[in-house]
């Protein structure tokens, strides 16, 4: 009897799916299978990567000549499915799918035409500047940090023209990166004369700071010509440095440098290269400004960081000598997790992990260091980069949420955590609410793939989740008890997410939702218009 009920429950999403024509259904004997096609305006898209992430690690697959793909796995759960194609970043957004044993799901992707940003790069005399790399960077902001994501690029031709195509809907800043700065060994009797150089990074229409750059909101199929970027030339200077320590040229490892201007996370590198000895080295062509030089030493296979250092170079009227830099070995980070309102003898739930996420340098983008939390709440992260880290807490059981992560009394959840700067104190709330439900049309038909937004009526960050193929949504672990508005739209774009007017409109049209401690709520939502 129980077994029969389980089968019915497993099939429930399947029955709901029958109403949606885009999903075809079948039975498989073991595990789950997703298959489908990827198409664009001109037909099937071959060699597109289809990537699935979720409870089970499944290797990405590529579409064949007819644009078909197929993925299978054995672990049920909620997964995220997306398509990625090189040279064509106009990817559709990811899909949330709930997968159960025996489910065969068909998910077809249609890649939209994409938007085009085009213009010229000119010097102060309005003459074209060839060979400039122009990057369209999708702008988003979470937790006070501006995040830039490289979404497409082109190089100007001899007429100074650039054209970045296939861009997904979004908000972009356009950055012109003048030719990479010269990173090289200094000759023995070197003396540098002053050379005028373009600003290494100029943001459309002609700004060096993100605050004064134009943010371009574009939609699929839209073409924005005439985005001319004017470069300014200034006298440039050099930054000198040497590299100290066993890391330079250590066996089976390489030491690399990367220079960036302080624009935002993932700003394009101005210069990079490999260190082959103590030096001296120089990077020339820098106009006045503040720059960060990252020095990082790592073994390649397996990838393991041996050391890291960041030096700030303030360039003004003179060359700058940073002296001798030495990659610092990663440091140990200790800390304690406490649960709010828990008794002194209560143990912290099992399965929680604390991660340090290196924020400073794109050299370390992949690098995270994790440690398991012991029943008494203590944890040790043996090797954390000597740089700016953010804190992530994974594996929280239902009802738990992070209220704070602090080091020396400073909130370091979104950055500023440094090993050696004292223990990390993480406080969890255990009285979180559980919110889930379905997204429906006015006549009660389920809406798959909708964005569901939890908007705090007071202060706090938005939370957005995606409904699965059956229109069901679910916020992860615990939601902090408070008053919220809950809204659903077919698709929330990044720029809508950042637009207070859009969020206010969605909040007004959404459901009121006051979440008490440990409350479990099933809230079905009517989908609102995205526009």
Residue count, binding to another protein (CB under 8 A) = 59
Q: How far is CA 69 from CA 39, 49, 237, 434, 512, in A?
A: 11, 9, 53, 35, 41
- Which of 65, 302, 343, 500 touches another protein (CB under 8 A)? 65
- Which of 145, 184, 232, 340 touches another protein (CB under 8 A)? 184
To another protein, the closest distance from the beta carbon of 158 in angstroms equals 4
Q: How far apart are alpha carbons 192 and 277 in whole angstroms? A: 22
Q: How far is CA 496 from CA 82, 147, 175, 475, in A?
A: 21, 16, 22, 20
Cis amide prior to 315 (ω within 30 degrees): no
- Is residue 408 close enough to count as binding another protein by CB under 8 A? no
Report the half-sphere exposure of 182 (CA within 13 A, side-chain side). Answer: 13
Return the number of the residue (318 or 459) whose C-beta is nearest another protein.
318
- Is residue 252 close enough to count as binding another protein by CB under 8 A? no
- Which of 103, 148, 267, 328 touches another protein (CB under 8 A)? 328
To another protein, the closest distance from the beta carbon of 355 in angstroms equals 21
- Is residue 210 close enough to count as binding another protein by CB under 8 A? no
Residues 272-311, one symbol each (x = binds another protein by CB under 8 A, - = not), give ------------x----------------x-------xxx
- Is residue 129 close enough to count as binding another protein by CB under 8 A? yes
- Is residue 323 close enough to count as binding another protein by CB under 8 A? yes
511: its two tokens: 């459901």
- Is residue 159 close enough to count as binding another protein by CB under 8 A? yes
- Restricting to residues 417-476, name those near another protein by CB under 8 A: 418-421
Q: Is 518 exposed, middle or buried (0-12, 13-18, 19+ CB in 10 A)?
A: middle
- Is residue 194 close enough to count as binding another protein by CB under 8 A? yes
Q: Cβ atoms within 10 A of the Cβ of 377, count?
A: 19
- Non-local CB neighbours of 97 within 8 Å, separated by 6+ positions: 34, 78, 79, 80, 81, 105, 107, 468, 469
Return the number of the residue (166 or 204) whose C-beta is nearest another protein.
166
- Is residue 312 close enough to count as binding another protein by CB under 8 A? yes
213: its two tokens: 């750059």
- Non-local CB neighbours of 93 within 8 Å, separated by 6+ positions: 82, 168, 491
Q: How far apart are alpha carbons 164 and 162 in whole angstroms? A: 7
To another protein, the closest distance from the beta carbon of 220 in angstroms equals 13
Q: How far apart are alpha carbons 126 and 100 in whole angstroms? A: 61
- Which of 313, 359, 447, 515 touches another protein (CB under 8 A)? 313
- Is residue 524 close enough to count as binding another protein by CB under 8 A? no
421: its two tokens: 């700067």
Return the number of the residue (88 or 498) whose C-beta is nearest another protein.
88
- Is residue 137 close enough to count as binding another protein by CB under 8 A? no
Q: First CA to last CA across the chain, in angstroms?
A: 48
- Is residue 186 close enough to count as binding another protein by CB under 8 A? yes
- Is residue 211 close enough to count as binding another protein by CB under 8 A? no
| Residues of the shown chain interacting with another protein in the complex, contacts defined by CB under 8 A | 42, 46-47, 62, 64-65, 87-88, 114, 116, 129-131, 154-155, 157-159, 161, 163, 165-166, 184-196, 240, 284, 301, 309-314, 318-323, 325-326, 328, 331, 386, 418-421
């Amino acid at each position: 009897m129980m077994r029969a009920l389980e089968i019915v429950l497993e099939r429930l999403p399947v029955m709901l799916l029958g109403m949606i024509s885009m999903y075809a259904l079948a039975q498989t004997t073991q595990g789950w299978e997703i298959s489908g096609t990827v198409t664009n305006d001109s037909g099937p898209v071959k060699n597109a990567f289809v990537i699935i992430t979720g409870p089970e690690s499944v290797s990405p697959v590529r579409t064949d000549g007819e644009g078909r793909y197929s993925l299978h796995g054995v672990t049920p759960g909620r997964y995220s499915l997306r398509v990625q194609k090189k040279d064509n970043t106009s990817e559709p957004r990811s899909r949330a799918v709930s997968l159960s044993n025996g489910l065969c799901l068909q998910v077809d992707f249609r890649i939209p035409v994409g938007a085009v940003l085009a213009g010229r790069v000119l010097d102060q005399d309005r003459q074209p500047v060839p060979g400039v790399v122009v990057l369209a960077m999708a702008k988003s902001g979470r937790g006070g940090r501006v995040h830039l994501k490289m979404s497409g690029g082109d190089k100007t031709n001899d007429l100074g023209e650039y054209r970045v195509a296939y861009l997904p809907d979004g908000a972009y800043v356009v950055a012109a990166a003048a030719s990479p700065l010269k990173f090289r060994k200094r000759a023995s009797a070197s003396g540098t004369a002053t050379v005028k150089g373009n600003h290494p990074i100029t943001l459309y229409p002609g700004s060096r700071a993100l605050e004064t750059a134009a943010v371009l909101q574009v939609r699929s199929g839209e073409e924005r010509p005439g985005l001319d970027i004017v470069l300014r030339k200034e006298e440039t200077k050099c930054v000198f440095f040497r590299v100290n320590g066993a890391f330079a040229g250590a066996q089976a490892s390489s030491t690399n440098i990367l220079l960036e201007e302080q624009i935002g996370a993932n700003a394009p590198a101005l210069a990079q290269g490999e260190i082959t000895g103590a030096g001296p080295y120089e990077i020339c062509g820098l106009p006045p400004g503040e720059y960060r030089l990252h020095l990082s030493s790592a073994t390649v296979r397996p990838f393991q960081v041996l050391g890291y250092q960041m030096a700030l170079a303030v360039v003004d009227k003179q060359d700058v000598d940073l002296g001798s830099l030495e990659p610092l070995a990663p440091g140990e980070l200790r800390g304690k997790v406490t649960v709010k309102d828990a008794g002194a003898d209560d143990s912290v739930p099992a399965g929680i992990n604390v991660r340090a996420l290196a924020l400073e340098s794109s050299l370390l983008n992949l690098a995270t260091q994790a440690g398991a939390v012991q029943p008494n709440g203590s944890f040790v992260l043996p090797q954390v980069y000597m740089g700016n880290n953010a804190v992530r807490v994974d594996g929280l059981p239902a009802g738990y949420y992070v209220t704070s992560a602090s080091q020396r009394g400073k909130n370091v959840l979104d950055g500023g955590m440094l090993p050696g700067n004292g223990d990390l104190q993480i406080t969890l709330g255990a009285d979180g609410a559980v919110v889930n439900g379905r997204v429906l049309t006015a006549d009660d038909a389920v809406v798959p793939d909708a964005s569901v937004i939890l908007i705090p009526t007071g202060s706090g960050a938005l939370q957005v989740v995606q409904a699965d193929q059956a229109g069901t949504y679910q916020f992860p672990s615990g939601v902090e008890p408070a008053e919220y508005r809950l809204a659903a739209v077919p698709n929330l774009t990044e720029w809508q997410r950042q637009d207070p007017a859009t969020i206010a409109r969605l909040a007004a049209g959404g459901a009121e939702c006051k979440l008490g401690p440990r409350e479990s709520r099933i809230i079905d939502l009517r989908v609102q218009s995205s526009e």
